[in-house]
Chain A
């Protein structure tokens, strides 16, 4: 006996959630990481602390505040309802928002570190070679920070895969919409279906291991090339 349809659906929802969250994080996180790496603003540590918060905060706390904000009586959820939409709590979109916040440090920090490691010099060189600021960003900073982007993407993706607390708080457990694998595992264990739980857990373990292995292998290749 292997995975049931419901498990497969949960797996697909999880992969879709991780992929979408990672893409959003790369798009939104890169400018933030760039700004954090370059700014000389003296209160920059405030923003850095906010970015790092999900690292230490219990996911249930994050989930709770999201539920309050996104639910029908929260400011954003209420706004959505007035605009004729539905509140984001207990929807896939709500899950995406939660995942983005939950995995934020895993994406922003590696990219920020990679941008910092480049230093000012390559950008100055590019400026003396007629490259405008935007041009310098895309043709010098981003390629030189490539290892950081790969680390960020894989960590963001893998971390979202294992999300549980946030999902439980704001996603609920709607099969095909908000039921992700970690919750499916929990359900199986609750129902004493250990064999099912084993299958999914083993799969998740293997996937996470392969992803992390890829990060370290790729980073080694990059460091070898750099020195």
Chain B
């Protein structure tokens, strides 16, 4: 299954005009600054923007075409809005069952009970929405969207209306969704951090147009995009747990370009994990330094360089075929004589492990 769309909309001085082919599994982040059309695109996919023109094909079903517009209630989707938007006149249970009762005929992919468990809302079922905190309301809203067993889940900045603490409360649930669900999730966000934690693929929107699309690893490391030049620029690397060193309390994590050794509580073998390496935590040497406290050193090749501010350079490295960004000073780059093709060693000072 994949999602093919070509949608356009003109409204005042804003226009949306996108053609995309999105993967039918995993989390696809629709990313961009406020006002770039992320929400409008998601609403268009849901059929909530009746003025949108174009075509939309989800799997083998046509949701919109030249002479066809499937109304929202006939599209097998789940939608989580920015605000929880629970029905005030129904209990939590009533909210969850609203869609469930109307699902008729569609196979149950996600049982209500497992959605309730996944989001940890079992103890809230008898309450009314106004008795819940913002974070709890949003968890109910996510469970409600899952309970209709959608073919595709759309989320419009589900964390944006919440404070930092509530975000931290919900993110783990979203991460476990990511690992449990085998339906595609389109996730609108302007938070780089959320995208780095959750997304597999990414669509970069700017002023209603698609600027770039691809895997998150590829887009985060593309030097021609602004993502690679922000102060907190990081590389996201997918790895699996390969083993533990009980004596030192370390875990070994294999990725396509080698093996990371990180501290942290032991995770089950073969569990997929996601690593975040900040570009400024990657230093470069021309020769392998034997005498160093740094555990993670990889041979790498410089692929490209780009200026990042007056004093800094962002270097795109390849570890095997895995790209990795390094942020060093221009002075260092000149002294090392870095140029595309230079063989270097990347010393990684710190790695954040996200499961």
If A127-B72, A135-B102 touch, does A140 touch B77 (CB 8 Å cutoff)? Answer: no
| Complex contacts, B71 vs chain A, CB 8 Å | 127
Chain A CB within 10 A, most for which of B73, B78, B83, B128: B73
| Complex contacts, A121 vs chain B, CB 8 Å | 81, 83, 85
- Tell me the smallest distance from the CB of B188 to a CB of chain A, in Å: 14
A130 near B89 with CB under 8 A, answer: no
B139 at the interface (CB under 8 A from A): no
| Complex contacts, B148 vs chain A, CB 8 Å | 129-130
B48 near A127 with CB under 8 A, answer: yes
Which of B79, B83, B104, B128 touches A128 (beta carbons < 8 Å)?
B79
B25 at the interface (CB under 8 A from A): no
B87 near A128 with CB under 8 A, answer: no
- Tell me the smallest distance from the CB of A90 to a CB of chain B, in Å: 45
The contact string, 1 if C-beta is below 8 Å from chain B, for chain A 110-148, is: 000000000001101111111111011001100110100
A4 at the interface (CB under 8 A from B): no
- Tell me the smallest distance from the CB of B154 to a CB of chain A, in Å: 8
A124 near B73 with CB under 8 A, answer: no
B88 at the interface (CB under 8 A from A): yes
The contact string, 1 if C-beta is below 8 Å from chain B, for chain A 74-102, is: 00000000000000000000000000000
Instruction: Give bound CA distance, A139 to B128, whole Å.
Output: 16
A227 at the interface (CB under 8 A from B): yes
A42 at the interface (CB under 8 A from B): no
B130 at the interface (CB under 8 A from A): yes
**Interface on chain A toward B: helix, strand, loop, or mixed SS?**
helix
Instruction: Give bound CA distance, A131 to B72, whole Å.
Output: 9
B166 at the interface (CB under 8 A from A): no
- Tell me the smallest distance from the CB of A128 to a CB of chain B, in Å: 4
Instruction: Pick the 5 closest A-B CB pairs, nearest first.
Output: A129-B99, A130-B102, A128-B79, A127-B72, A143-B89
Chain A residue total in the interface (Cβ 8 A): 22
Instruction: Give bound CA distance, A135 to B71, whole Å.
Output: 14
Instruction: Give bound CA distance, A227 to B131, whole Å.
Output: 10
| Complex contacts, A139 vs chain B, CB 8 Å | 98
The contact string, 1 if C-beta is below 8 Å from chain A, for chain B 110-151, is: 000000000000000000101000000000000011001000
- Tell me the smallest distance from the CB of A7 to a CB of chain B, in Å: 43
Q: Which of B80-112 contact A (CB under 8 A)?
A: 81, 83, 85, 87-89, 98-99, 102-104
B46 at the interface (CB under 8 A from A): yes
User: Can you give 28 A-B contacts (C-beta < 8 A)?
Assistant: A121-B83, A121-B85, A122-B85, A124-B81, A125-B81, A125-B85, A125-B87, A126-B98, A127-B71, A127-B73, A128-B46, A128-B72, A128-B78, A128-B145, A129-B99, A129-B148, A130-B73, A130-B74, A130-B102, A130-B103, A131-B102, A132-B73, A136-B73, A140-B87, A146-B89, A225-B128, A226-B88, A226-B130
If A146-B89, A227-B130 touch, does A131 touch B73 (CB 8 Å cutoff)? Answer: yes
Binding site for A on B (CB under 8 A): 46-48, 71-74, 77-79, 81, 83, 85, 87-89, 98-99, 102-104, 128, 130, 144-145, 148
- Tell me the smallest distance from the CB of A91 to a CB of chain B, in Å: 41
- Tell me the smallest distance from the CB of A223 to a CB of chain B, in Å: 11
In this complex, what residue of B is CB-closest to A146? B89
Chain A CB within 10 A, most for which of B48, B74, B79, B87: B87
| Complex contacts, A133 vs chain B, CB 8 Å | 73
Instruction: Give bound CA distance, A214 to B79, whole Å.
Output: 39
Instruction: Give bound CA distance, A136 to B98, whole Å.
Output: 11
| Complex contacts, B88 vs chain A, CB 8 Å | 144, 225-226
- Tell me the smallest distance from the CB of A11 to a CB of chain B, in Å: 36
Instruction: Give bound CA distance, A132 to B77, whole Å.
Output: 14
Instruction: Give bound CA distance, A127 to B48, whole Å.
Output: 9
If A121-B81, A122-B87, A146-B89 touch, does A129 touch B46 (CB 8 Å cutoff)? Answer: no
- Tell me the smallest distance from the CB of B85 to a CB of chain A, in Å: 5
Instruction: Give bound CA distance, A140 to B74, whole Å.
Output: 18
| Complex contacts, B103 vs chain A, CB 8 Å | 130
Instruction: Give bound CA distance, A121 to B161, whole Å.
Output: 15
A128 near B77 with CB under 8 A, answer: yes
Contacts A130-B104, A139-B98 known; list 9 others, CB within 8 Å.
A127-B47, A127-B48, A127-B73, A128-B72, A128-B73, A128-B78, A130-B74, A135-B102, A144-B89
- Tell me the smallest distance from the CB of B193 to a CB of chain A, in Å: 27
Instruction: Give bound CA distance, A135 to B78, whole Å.
Output: 18
Instruction: Give bound CA distance, A177 to B27, whole Å.
Output: 71
Instruction: Give bound CA distance, A57 to B145, whole Å.
Output: 50
Instruction: Give bound CA distance, A133 to B81, whole Å.
Output: 19
Instruction: Give bound CA distance, A146 to B87, whole Å.
Output: 13
